[in-house]
């Protein structure tokens, strides 16, 4: 198969993290825009991107891009695309989502309806039929309009890639798996360093960190829409990608990853989720208040998602909560802290201005990723492998 363009949407503000992930997989970047990265690949790339990428929301197979300022133009240019190269005669196809920003065409429902009619017209002409059963594989289409430029992709993932399959039960206000992975990647943490989440909730930060440490691909235990696209992707390519992921898992590692929460029922959920992810042996979960945040070792990391106070009754407790968090952090000599929160007074009550902060949209909620990096460990601190080699 010739190279095609693939589109990987992601959280706004975290495009650079996803770009690096795609390059690490060995693919060439075609472009980076707000909330998405486009890259070149083939059928194998569809499988590997879905299985290996930790920070992408889904993988779209780009069908085309053009400028349209009227609905007639949208119809004709959508009809001109070679839909028969993607969708077989029995394929089920629809425009699953349309989004428009700063464009003359802005009604999602009208965009969806007109594009579907254009696709039907094109396929009727190619397959010489007036009616499609649509009882075969699914080919959901997603379209994005930005300043009148229409970009169309066919969704290879189906359910969003943040659904790893391990989090059947969540605590309140959970952070998504893709966002948690992205934020961990923004820090210098690696599996040789301690990681503690004192507000672990359903365990997403510790679980994602443990999966990274053990090199467990995030998508290896779930299914994808494009698995049924046998006209485009041979089944063997999916098997090969899963086998590659299995071969890369590291069962021999030792890590210090901990998750605390004041609510014991939430801690039980976190343990259950870790077991589903296959990393329960790598994480120590415990019921513990943030005021009891202590650790005897140096150079550890706190990466956490403290309460935002979205409910009024919670908001009254936030000043004391963040104050206690800040006081506990100050007892941890040489540690680094990273927290994502929408609470505007976080720095004030934490008792320290962040060295850096980064605006990130968690869904529609504007949040900030506050970064309080500690000192780098001396070279003698070494890695686990280096220490073993020197014994």
**Residue 388 pLDDT greater than 90, yes or no:** no
Predicted confidence (pLDDT) at residue 199 exceeds the cutoff of 50: yes
The pLDDT assigned to 363 comes to 78
Nearest of 50, 55, 231, 68 to residue 143 by alpha carbon: 68
CB count, 10 Å around CB of 106? 13
CA distance 234 to 229: 8
CATH number of 4-155: 3.30.2130.30
Phi then psi dihedrals of residue 11, to 5 deg: -65, 140
Q: What mean pLDDT comes out for the span 199-209?
A: 96
6 contacts 57 by C-beta, under 8 angstroms: no
Q: Which of 179, 269, 167, 178 is nearest to 221 (CA)?
A: 167
Give the residue from 348, 322, 298 showing the smallest Cα distance to 199: 322
pLDDT at 373 over 80: yes
pLDDT for residue 60: 98
* pLDDT score recorded for residue 190: 96
The rounded mean pLDDT for the chain is 94
| Placement of tokens 């959920």 in the chain | 269
pLDDT at 109: 98
Percent of the chain surpassing pLDDT 90: 89
pTM score, whole prediction: 0.94
Q: Is the predicted pLDDT of residue 379 greater than 90, yes or no?
A: no
- Contact in structure between 150 and 118 (CB atoms under 8 Å): no
The answer as to CATH 3.40.50.150 being correct for domain 177-218+232-389 is: yes
Q: What is the pLDDT of residues 132-181, one digit of tens each?
A: 999 999 999 999 999 999 999 999 999 999 999 998 766 555 799 999 99
Name residue, tokens 């503000």: 13
The better pLDDT of the pair 311, 95 is held by: 95
Structure tokens at 188: 């210098």
- Note the pLDDT of residue 308: 84
Report the alpha-carbon distance of residue 371 to residue 9 in Å, rounded. 25
**Band of residue 315 on the pLDDT scale cut at 50, 70, 90:** confident
Average pLDDT over residues 327-331: 97
Nearest Cα to Cα of residue 278 among 249, 240, 304: 249
Q: What is the pLDDT of residue 380?
A: 63
- Give me the mean pLDDT over the 113-130 stretch: 98
In this predicted structure, what is the pLDDT of residue 386? 41
State the pLDDT at residue 389: 35
Q: What is the 3-state secondary structure (H, E, C) of the chain?
A: CCCEEEEEECCCCCHHHHHHHHHHCCCCEEEEECCEEEEEECHHHHHHHHHHCCCCCCCEEEEEEEECCCHHHHHHHHHCCCHHHCCCCCCEEEEEEEEEECCCCCCHHHHHHHHHHHHHHHHHHHHCCCCCCCCCCEEEEEEEEECCEEEEEEECCCCCCCCCCCCCCCCCCCCCHHHHHHHHHCCCCCCCCCEEECCCCCCHHHHHHHHHHCCCCCCCCCCCHHHHCCCCCCHHHHHHHHHHHHHHCCCCCCCCEEEEECCHHHHHHHHHHHHHHCCHHHEEEEECCHHHCCCCCCCCEEEECCCCCCCHHHHCCHHHHHHHHHHHHHCCCCCEEEEEECCCCHHHHHCCCCCEEEEEEECCEEEEEEEECCCCCCHHHCCHHHHHHCC
Please report the pLDDT score of residue 384 as a whole number: 52
Domain ranges of the chain: 4-155, 177-218+232-389
- Split at pLDDT 50, 70, 90, the class of 11 is very high
For residues 329 and 354, the answer to whether their CB atoms sit within 8 Å is no
pLDDT(362) > 90:
no
Look-up: residue for tokens 């965009």? Answer: 111
- Lowest-pLDDT range, 4-13, 172-181, 325-334, 342-351? 172-181
Q: Do domains 4-155 and 177-218+232-389 have the same CATH topology?
A: no
Has residue 283 got a pLDDT over 90?
yes
pLDDT digits (tens, 9 = 90+) for 224-272: 999 999 999 999 999 999 999 999 999 899 999 999 999 999 999 999 9
Tokens encoding 267? 């801690």
């Amino acid at each position: 198969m010739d190279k095609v363009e693939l589109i990987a949407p992601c959280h706004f503000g975290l495009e650079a993290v996803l770009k690096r992930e795609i390059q690490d997989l060995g693919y060439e970047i075609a472009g980076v825009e707000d909330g998405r990265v486009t890259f070149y690949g083939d059928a194998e790339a569809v499988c590997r991107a879905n299985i290996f990428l930790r920070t992408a929301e889904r993988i779209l197979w780009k069908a085309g891009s053009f400028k349209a300022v009227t609905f007639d133009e949208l119809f004709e240019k959508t009809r001109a695309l070679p839909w028969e190269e993607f969708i077989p005669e029995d394929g089920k196809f629809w425009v699953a989502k349309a989004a428009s920003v700063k464009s003359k065409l802005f009604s999602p429902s009208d965009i969806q309806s007109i594009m579907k009619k254009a696709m039907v017209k094109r396929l009727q002409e190619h397959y010489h039929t007036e009616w499609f059963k649509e009882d075969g594989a699914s080919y959901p289409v997603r379209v994005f309009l930005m300043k009148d430029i229409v970009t169309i992709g066919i969704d290879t993932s189906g359910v969003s890639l943040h659904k790893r399959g391990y989090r059947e039960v969540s605590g309140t206000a959970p952070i998504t798996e893709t966002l948690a992975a992205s934020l961990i990647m923004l820090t210098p943490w690696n599996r040789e360093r301690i990681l503690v989440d004192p507000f672990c909730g359903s365990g997403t930060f510790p679980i994602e960190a443990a999966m990274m440490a053990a090199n467990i691909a995030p998508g290896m235990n779930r299914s994808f829409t494009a698995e049924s696209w046998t006209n485009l992707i041979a089944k063997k390519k999916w098997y090969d990608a899963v086998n590659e992921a299995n071969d890369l898992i590291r069962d021999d590692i030792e890590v210090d990853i901990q998750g605390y929460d004041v609510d014991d029922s939430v801690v039980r959920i976190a343990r259950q989720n870790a077991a589903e992810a296959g990393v329960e042996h790598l994480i120590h979960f415990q019921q513990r208040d943030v005021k009891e945040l202590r650790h005897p070792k140096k150079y550890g990391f706190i990466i956490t998602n403290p309460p935002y106070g979205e409910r009024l009754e919670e908001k009254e407790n936030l000043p004391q909560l963040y104050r206690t968090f800040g006081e506990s952090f100050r007892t941890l000599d040489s540690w680094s802290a990273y927290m994502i929160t929408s609470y505007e007074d976080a720095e004030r009550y934490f008792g320290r201005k962040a060295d850096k902060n980064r605006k990130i949209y968690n869904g529609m909620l504007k949040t900030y990723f506050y970064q309080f990096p500690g000192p780098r460990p001396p070279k003698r601190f070494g890695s686990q492998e280096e220490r073993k080699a020197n014994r």
